[in-house]
Amino acid sequence: MAKIIKVFFWGLLISFLGSLPLGTLNVAAMQIGIQESVPKAIWFSLGSLMVEMVYVRLSLVGIGWVRKQVRLMKIMEWITLVIIVALAAGSFIAAAKSGGNTKNILLNNHLNRFLLGMFMCAINPVQIPFWFGWSTVLLTKNILQPVQSQYNMYIVGIGLGTLMGNCVFIFGGKWMVERIANSQQYLNWVIGGIFTLTAVIQLIKMLLHKDGLSKFYEGKQGEL
């Protein structure tokens, strides 16, 4: 029992800390929380963490199949880049219109926020090498064992950790907006800058083959 609890907290800790750096999903969750409502932002986060948990499961039991999908993963990576660029442009446009209260163009739709979270997470394959790496470390150190009950608790911990990390952005962004005049306009400019920087960094890494997926497949070739 103690072993399962330990695995649960390791998954929670890694996921929580991994969710704190600025990224596409947590910043989008913050935008939804500010411009729509906190419950919708939570539903968005739940949708994204559901897909993340599936990716973790794949990294644990289906990594051989995943590694064969090189072309699919590369296509998904480029689609993710396009969406980040669109989010950046949408944030700048929102900041420039109506005092910054206009919604980001990609969030200005009637799609269920749970499904939107699932979609945005599903096309972000970077999580696969991230979790494959951490899971390998935990398995190597015998913290995580290839046992069904441990896998399940590990994944539950990861889901909760992701939700907690996103809540930092959701409630933190809401708190800031409520206390700073014209904060939505400033926030949209800042978010646009974050997405732009993220897109530039990802593009450079992709072109130089220094991104997570490239290292992931280099590791595969090294094993052959």
DSSP codes of every residue in 41-104: HHHHHHHHHHHHHHHHHHHHH-HHHHHH-HHHHHHHHHHHHHHHHHHHHHHHHHHHSGGGTSPP
- Indicate whether 115 belongs to any domain: yes
- Indicate whether 57 belongs to any domain: yes
Higher pLDDT, 169 or 209: 169
Q: What is the mean pLDDT of residues 38-66?
A: 84
Q: What is the CA radius of gyration of the chain?
A: 18
Q: What is the mean pLDDT of residues 7-32?
A: 88
Q: What is the mean pLDDT of residues 59-86?
A: 71
Of 97, 110, 83, give the one whose Cα is nearest residue 27: 83
Most confident residue range from 4-18, 93-107, 197-211: 4-18
- Indicate whether 62 belongs to any domain: yes
- Indicate whether 76 belongs to any domain: yes
Is residue 161's pLDDT more than 80?
yes
- Indicate whether 189 belongs to any domain: yes
- Indicate whether 133 belongs to any domain: yes
pLDDT confidence tier of residue 182, bands split at 50, 70 and 90:
low
pTM, rounded to two decimals = 0.74
Burial of 166 (0-12, 13-18, 19+ CB in 10 A): buried
Of 79, 195, 167, give the one whose Cα is nearest residue 126: 79
**Do 135 and 53 form a contact (C-beta atoms < 8 A)?**
no
Separation of alpha carbons 123 and 77, rounded Å: 7
Is residue 69's pLDDT more than 70?
no
Burial of 15 (0-12, 13-18, 19+ CB in 10 A): buried
- Indicate whether 155 belongs to any domain: yes
Of 176, 34, 25, 44, give the one whose Cα is nearest residue 102: 34
Separation of alpha carbons 93 and 102, rounded Å: 8
Question: Domain limits at 165?
Answer: 2-212
Query: Where do runs of H (alpha helix) occur along the chain?
Result: 2-19, 24-35, 38-61, 63-68, 70-96, 113-122, 127-140, 148-179, 183-207, 212-223
- Indicate whether 220 belongs to any domain: no
Domain count, the chain: 1
What pLDDT is recorded for position 224? 37
**Do 182 and 100 form a contact (C-beta atoms < 8 A)?**
yes
